[in-house]
Each structure stands twice: as C-alpha cells, then as structure tokens.
Structure 1
Amino acid sequence: MKRIDYYYWLNSDWAYLGNDRLEEIAARHRAELNYLPVDLPYVYAHTGGVLLSQRSVERQAYRETELVRWCKKLGIHVNPTPRFMCPNGDLASCVVIAAKFAGLKLATLSQAILHAEWVEEQDISCETTLSRVIDSVGYDSASLLRDAGTSDVAAEYRSYTKQAIAAGVFGSPSYVFNGEVFWGQDRLEFLDAALAEQ
C-alpha cells in the first residue's frame, strides 16, 4: 500500500491550508496517511531553519503576502498574526500522538487545533483550550490530555522529530513519499503526480 509520511508542526499555518487537500489526495490514491507531529524549533536548530519571529522584516512581510494570496485562492480564512501566534506546540503534538495511540482519526483533530490558533486566535499551548478543541471533535479530552503526558507519548514525539530530520525534512508541512520530500502545501500537486505515477 502507498504511504505518505506527513511531518507537520501543530503551529503551522501552511499545514492548516493544506490538510484538507492532503486528505483528499491520499484518499483518491488509496494511500495511507501517516500523521507525524514534530518539534519544528528542534528541526530548525538542526537543519538551518529560522523561526518566524527571528526572520527579517522583509521575510515576515512576504509570508503575510503569500498567506493572503493562498487564502484567496483556496477560499480559506486565516489571521496571519493571531493573538496567540506559535506558542509552545509540545502539548498539542502529544495530544495528537495520544489520539494516534488510541486509534482515533487524526485529520479532524489536527485541523481543529490549527483552526483554534489561526482562525479563533486561541492559545493552543493551554490545556483549557485543547480540552475544548478535543471535546468539539467528539473525543474524550480528559483521557487524551492524561495520555499526552506519558513517557511513551513523549518518546514517540522525539522519535518523529528525529525521523523527520533523517528523512531530509526541514520545514512544515512536509510530505515524504517513496523517500522523496515534498515541502509545503504548494507542493501538493507534485505529491499528487508522484502518487499517480506509481
């Protein structure tokens, strides 16, 4: 069976824009979609990346321009500079991993967390916020938040992050298929073509 390894940060506005299309592409090609939340600051530190807040004014401004363009093209709204922008994503990532361990579907949960940050301007590093988001998709927030704090989940999170670097990933979202990295939601067309060719 075809498999897409999906490395992403739970603070990634670009992941939010691409998630629904990624799910559609995977379903159309009957490919397994392996959700792998990563600690992007750690990835950046080991691959030469620069956190948004540390980038030049020009690069920050261009990011906003590109977001506006893509939001218009896709018909999706995001606030380029939400009130709680890119807080610590570790707990949110561990919640998704706990859901994965529980055999739950991750697309809706991941998108709901991203939506909370980029549309609702909520602090996704806050347990109260995550509890509300988890409940909103019909999952048990108390159970997932409890499991998110376990050593097994923490170890998995670290493993995904190191796997990402080993796979050549340096940004979010990144899709890896047959050892080939497709970086950014604007590369989904190329991922779609690669799946079609196999």
Structure 2
Amino acid sequence: MAHIDYFFGLVSSWSYLAGLRLEEIAARHGASITYRPLDLLALFDRTGGTRPAARHPNRIAYRDQERARWSRRLGLPIVAKPTIFPPNVAPASYALIAAQSAAERSGTGDVGGLAHALLATTWAEDRDVASDAVIREKLAAFGFDPNLATTGLFEGALAYEKNLDEAIERGVFGAPFYIVRETDQRFWGQDRLDFLDEHLDSL
C-alpha cells in the first residue's frame, strides 16, 4: 500500500483549493496519508522562496487572477483578501497534529476533513483560525475531542517544528506538496494531483 506524506501550511490558499481531492485519490488507490502541517513562511525563508507580501506586484496580481479561476473551476468559494492575514496558524496546526495522533490510536475521526475545514476557516469563512473557539468547533465537527486544542499543544509544537526540518530534507519548498514515500516521487501544487493519481496507478 502506498503512503503519501502531505506537507502544507494552514495559511496556504492553494492547499485550501486542493479540497478533498487528495483524500479521494488515496481512497481509490488504498493509499494512506500522513498530514504534515508546517510553518510555510519559514519554509520559504529556508529554501530560497519569497514571502507573499514581498513579491513583485505583477506576481501578486497574476496569483489573484489564477486563484479566482481555480476557485470557479473547482467550485470552492474563496475570500480574495481575508480580514486576518497572515493568521497565526500554529495553534490550529498543533491541534491537527494531535488529532491525527488520536485518530491513529483510536481509528476514529476525520483528519482530512479537519485539515480542509481549518484551511476553509481563513479562505472560505473569513474567520480567525487562531481562535480557540474556532479550533474546538472544528475538532468536534470532525469527531475529535475539542480539548485537544489545549492538551495537544506540546505534542503538536514538537511535531510542527520537526515537519519543517523533514520537509527541507526531503525537497519540499512550497505547498501543497505531496511525496509518495515508497518512490520519493514529489508533486508540488494542487494542480499536480492528477499526476499523483497517475503515479499511484503505476504502482
């Protein structure tokens, strides 16, 4: 069975626009997924990227047009300019990591749904993903103990830092970024999910 390591930042609009297609692809192929949220801005700093706010206006303008096109194509509404941006995604990332650990132990809870819902908090709902109330709401909605928002802080913080280091070691430089563990095939961007699907077909 193939295993996909999914590196992404909860600040990423492109990770939001991936929707649940990764989960659908994995289900078709019987593949498993490990969700590895990380500090995307730190990833840019450490791999030669440019933080979005520092990019040339031409690049920003094109990104905005392209994001709107993909939103229409995929049927995923998007907030062009979120009220709180960039949000502090660390607490929600810690909670997601803790939820994934809980799911591995219990076999319950929808980690993929939770990840997408946390991304949608910023990009579809224009709410503060750093809010403790929002994090607890999302945890409960996808079958997790809302108290993971606090009890999972230590575990989540350690894994969050480790995810960044591992991402850099394995060639990650943006998000969303998918790596098939068995073959080290890497796919960057929600628009490369079809290639991931084709690769899993070949295994």
TM-score range, shorter chain: over 0.9
Tell me which amino acid in the other structure corresponds to 1:6: Y
Q: C-alpha offsets along residues 12-35 of structure 1, whole Å, 9 cap, x if unaligned?
A: 111111131111111111111111
1:123 aligned to 128, 147, 151, which one? 128
Q: 2:118 aligns with which of 97, 110, 113?
A: 113
After TM superposition, the structure 1 = structure 2 runs for residues 42-81 of structure 1, keeping only pairs within 5 Å, are 42-81=42-81
Determine the structure 2 residue equivalent to 1:94. 94
Matched, 1:19 2:23: no
RMSD: 1.3
1:71 CA drift (Å):
1.0
Pairwise CA distance, 1:186 = 0.4
Distance 1:133 1:53 in 2: 28
1:105 to partner: Cα distance: 2.8
* 1:83 positional shift: 1.0
Between the aligned partners of 1:115 and 1:196, the Cα distance in structure 2 is: 29
Query: Do 2:9 and 2:176's aligned partners in 1 also have CA atoms closer than 8 Å?
Result: yes
Q: Indicate if the aligned counterparts of 1:174 and 1:181 stay in contact, CA closer than 8 A.
A: yes
Provide the identity percentage: 38
The question of 1:173 aligning with 2:176 is answered yes
Structure 1 unaligned spans of 5+: none
**TM-score of the superposition, structure 1-length normalised?**
0.94
Note the C-alpha offset of 1:140: 2.1
Q: 1:139 aligns with which of 115, 137, 144?
A: 144
SS at match of 1:50: coil
Post-superposition shift, 1:42? 1.6
- Alpha-carbon distance between aligned partners in 2 of 1:179 and 1:171, rounded to the nearest angstrom: 16
Q: Is the 8 A contact 2:16 2:120 kept in 1?
A: yes
Select which of 162, 169, 176 maps to 1:159.
Answer: 162
Partner in structure 2 of residue 190 of structure 1: 195
Q: Alpha-carbon deviation of 1:133?
A: 2.5
Aligned length: 196
Unaligned runs of 5+ in 2: 104-108
CA distance in structure 1 between the partners assigned to 2:12 and 2:135 by the alignment? 16
AA at the equivalent of 2:133: T
User: Amino acid of the residue matched to residue 21 of structure 2?
Assistant: R
1:67-113 deviations in whole A, cap 9, x for unaligned? Answer: 11111111111112111222121111101001011114311111111
CA distance in structure 2 between the partners assigned to 1:50 and 1:123 by the alignment: 24
CA contact (8 A) 1:19 1:107 kept: no
1:38 matches 2:42: no
When normalised by structure 2's length, the TM-score is: 0.91
